[in-house]
């Protein structure tokens, strides 16, 4: 089996503050926001967001870190202590997952954190999964539309959000050929301009709210973003998890024929470089890629989510994201590669690709830790660990098939464990029935069109469990090839649980669909 060559260099965009061209750079911190997925917080099913948060450098002189639970998780200052309050919180959570009434609150909380802490020269990193990815991209869009208010203007944030949500195109005044929108006027009057250095997201959904979908302007793409990275799920079939690709200046030019958007001139005389874009498909369903599909075990077992995490960390570190040495060294995902990285640094002439990666990383961040950068680079490359991750269990929430536990395991289960296993199977099939109800009934589905930036595409047609439609020239992670090449018996021997879907006698075949006339010949396997 042949593996792809290492990824091409990540071109950096200059960091500058457009609203104050004469001001000096006063800070070089990374402000990092981690926005989790629907109903996700810190519990038994942990996504890649808390894991990534734990790896980040916590030195306040170098980085400020902010974590936010997902849409469907109430942003509150305390936990309800008595039963009526707990029932109220649970009902509110279910309603929120259905209509996403807290979406604006999530965006504004992230905006407030930036407003309170941003200083000229800071680099903003936004990370998100699922609806948290939507929130991150919407936040970037809000920053582009209305700018960033000076610190202390908390009462003005709702007005800024309202203008972003409804009045980005509303004309404030027009005199001859000159005109200004309400958003532009607000930005000019009250705000600082701020650009987002890096956005790293897992499987962005096209709208928020499983019953009443909601979209927001610029959530598909923003020219204020320097670097955009997204990991997609190849095997997610549910209509309520329709993916949202990058839709922006770089992608509109040639979104299907370039793995990486190359920097160039701005638009309309703007000298801002074009956003660099990488979108890569990974095997698995929505939460196999973003994490949280199976109960958390401290990252000791192989998992499909580890592959996208290692890919994302490598991309972010190259862009300037700083890691905590102790956290990386003790991580079950990255720790095994520290000694290999230390050895590679002693003889870089044998590792020209690593040497080039380190050069680019140090150019973007002269204070980067070379050992940590080398560690994440090697962790993202093909290895026995990545092969184990590639063959790990996956989920399919539209499949009624549930992997049977081996007889020797069943015999050792207590009565309570057998009862719990039976309940888990009934619950899993009940949820599958619910998802199929949404698949066969005509329901509202909203997405942002690829051919018209910011324009909505509304559909009522049932999905019937069909896989996602791939771009003309999709980028598959090399681990997909490993899983496709594995013998069915090998996949069947991997450990699973009630949520794991058996691969069957045919082995693994991605559920995503090619466009007419396209096929595996058009796929590019990348690292």
- Tell me, yes or no, whether 155 lies in a domain: no
Q: Which residues pair with 173 in a beta bridge?
A: 180
Name every residue whose Cβ is closer than 8 Å to that of residue 493 and which is 6 or more positions away in sequence.
Answer: none
Q: Are 464 and 511 in contact (CB under 8 A)?
A: no
Look at the alpha carbons of 152, 125, 135, 457 in this order and tell me if their dihedral is positive or negative: positive
Name every residue whose Cβ is closer than 8 Å to that of residue 293 and which is 6 or more positions away in sequence.
Answer: 45, 284, 285, 286, 287, 305, 394, 395, 499
- Tell me, yes or no, whether 79 lies in a domain: yes
Backbone dihedral angles phi then psi of residue 127, each to the nearest 5 degrees:
-120, 145
- What gap in Å lies between CA 432 and CA 436, rounded to an integer? 6
Each of the 527 residues of the chain gets a pLDDT tens digit; together they read 555 555 555 544 333 333 444 344 566 899 999 999 865 556 667 999 999 999 999 999 999 999 998 655 554 444 545 545 554 444 444 444 444 556 889 999 999 999 999 999 999 999 999 989 989 999 999 999 999 999 999 999 999 999 998 877 788 888 878 889 999 999 999 999 999 999 999 999 876 555 444 567 765 667 789 999 999 999 999 988 888 889 765 444 333 334 444 433 343 345 566 789 999 999 999 999 999 988 889 999 999 999 999 999 999 999 999 999 999 999 999 999 999 999 999 999 999 999 999 999 999 999 999 999 999 999 999 999 999 999 998 888 898 877 766 677 677 778 888 888 788 888 888 888 988 998 898 876 666 555 545 566 677 788 899 999 999 999 999 999 999 999 887 887 665 444 567 776 788 999 999 999 999 999 999 99
Name every residue whose Cβ is closer than 8 Å to that of residue 472 and which is 6 or more positions away in sequence.
Answer: 256, 257, 515, 518, 522
- Tell me, yes or no, whether 24 lies in a domain: no
Count of domains in the chain?
Answer: 1
The first and second tokens of residue 45, run together, are: 């099913």
- Tell me, yes or no, whether 42 lies in a domain: yes
346 three-state secondary structure: helix
- Tell me, yes or no, whether 470 lies in a domain: no
Q: Are 475 and 246 in contact (CB under 8 A)?
A: no
Give which of 473, 475, 507 is closest to 490, Cα–Cα.
507
- Tell me, yes or no, whether 518 lies in a domain: no
- pLDDT for the residue 449: 58
Q: What's 255's DSSP letter?
A: T
526 three-state secondary structure: strand
- What gap in Å lies between CA 474 and CA 257, rounded to an integer? 9
Which range marks the domain in which residue 359 is found? 30-148+192-390
The whole-angstrom distance between residue 140's C-alpha and the CA centroid of its chain comes to 14
Give CA separation, 185 vs 142, 147, 182, 522, in Å. 14, 11, 5, 46
Give which of 288, 196, 204, 290 is closest to 245, Cα–Cα.
204
- Tell me, yes or no, whether 412 lies in a domain: no
Tell me the HSE value of 254 on the side-chain side, using a 13 A CA sphere: 8
- pLDDT for the residue 77: 42
- pLDDT for the residue 157: 97
- What gap in Å lies between CA 510 and CA 377, rounded to an integer? 27
Q: Are 241 and 235 in contact (CB under 8 A)?
A: no
- pLDDT for the residue 167: 76
- What gap in Å lies between CA 448 and CA 457, rounded to an integer? 6
Backbone dihedral angles phi then psi of residue 120, each to the nearest 5 degrees:
-55, 130
- Tell me, yes or no, whether 281 lies in a domain: yes
| CATH number of the domain that residue 283 is part of | 3.40.50.1820
Q: What's 205's DSSP letter?
A: B
- pLDDT for the residue 498: 47
């Amino acid at each position: 089996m042949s593996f792809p060559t290492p990824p091409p260099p990540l071109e950096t965009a200059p960091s500058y503050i457009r609203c104050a061209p004469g001001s000096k750079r006063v800070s070089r911190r990374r402000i990092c926001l981690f926005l989790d997925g629907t109903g996700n917080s810190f519990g038994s099913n942990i996504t890649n967001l808390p894991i990534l948060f734990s790896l980040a450098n916590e030195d306040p002189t170098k980085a400020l870190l902010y974590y936010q639970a997902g849409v469907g998780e109430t942003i509150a200052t305390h936990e309800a202590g008595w039963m009526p309050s707990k029932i109220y919180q649970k009902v509110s959570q279910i309603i929120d997952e259905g209509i996403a009434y807290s979406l604006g609150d999530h965006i504004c909380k992230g905006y407030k954190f930036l407003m309170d802490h941003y200083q000229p020269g800071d680099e903003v990193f936004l990370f998100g999964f699922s609806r948290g990815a939507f929130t991150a991209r919407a936040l970037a869009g809000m920053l582009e539309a209305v700018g960033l208010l000076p610190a202390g203007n908390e009462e003005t944030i709702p007005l800024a959000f309202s203008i972003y949500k409804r009045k980005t195109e509303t004309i404030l005044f027009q005199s001859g050929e000159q005109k200004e929108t309400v958003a532009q006027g607000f930005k000019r009057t009250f705000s600082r301009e701020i650009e987002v250095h890096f956005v790293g997201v897992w499987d962005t959904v096209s709208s928020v709210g499983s019953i009443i979908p909601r979209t927001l302007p610029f959530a598909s793409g923003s020219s204020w973003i320097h670097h955009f990275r997204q990991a997609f799920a190849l095997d997610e079939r549910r209509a309520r998890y329709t993916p949202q690709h990058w839709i922006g200046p770089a992608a509109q030019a040639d979104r299907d024929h370039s793995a990486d958007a190359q920097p160039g001139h701005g638009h309309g005389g703007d000298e801002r470089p074009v956003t660099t874009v990488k979108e890569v498909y990974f095997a698995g369903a929505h939460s196999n890629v973003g994490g949280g599909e199976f109960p958390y075990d401290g990252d000791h077992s192989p998992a499909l989510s580890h592959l996208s995490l290692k890919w994302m960390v490598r991309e972010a570190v190259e862009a300037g994201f700083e890691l905590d040495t102790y956290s990386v060294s003790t991580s079950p995902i990255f720790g095994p590669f520290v000694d290999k990285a230390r050895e590679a640094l002693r003889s870089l002439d044998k590792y020209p690709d690593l040497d080039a990666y380190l050069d680019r990383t140090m150019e973007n961040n002269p204070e980067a830790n070379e050992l940590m950068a080398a560690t994440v680079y090697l962790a993202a490359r093909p290895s026995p660990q990545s092969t184990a991750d590639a063959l790990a269990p996956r989920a399919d929430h539209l499949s009624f098939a549930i992997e049977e536990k081996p007889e020797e395991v069943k015999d050792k289960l207590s009565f309570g464990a057998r009862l719990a296993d039976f309940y888990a199977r009934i619950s899993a099939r009940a949820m599958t029935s619910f998802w199929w109800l949404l698949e066969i009934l005509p329901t509202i589905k909203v997405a942002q069109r690829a051919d018209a930036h910011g324009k909505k595409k509304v559909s009522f047609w049932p999905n019937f469990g069909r896989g996602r439609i791939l771009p003309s020239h999709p980028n598959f992670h090399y681990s997909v090839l490993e899983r496709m090449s594995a013998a069915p018996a090998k996949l069947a021997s991997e450990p699973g649980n009630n949520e794991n879907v058996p691969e069957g006698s045919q082995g693994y075949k991605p559920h995503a669909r090619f466009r007419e006339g396209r096929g595996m010949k058009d796929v590019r396997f990348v690292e």
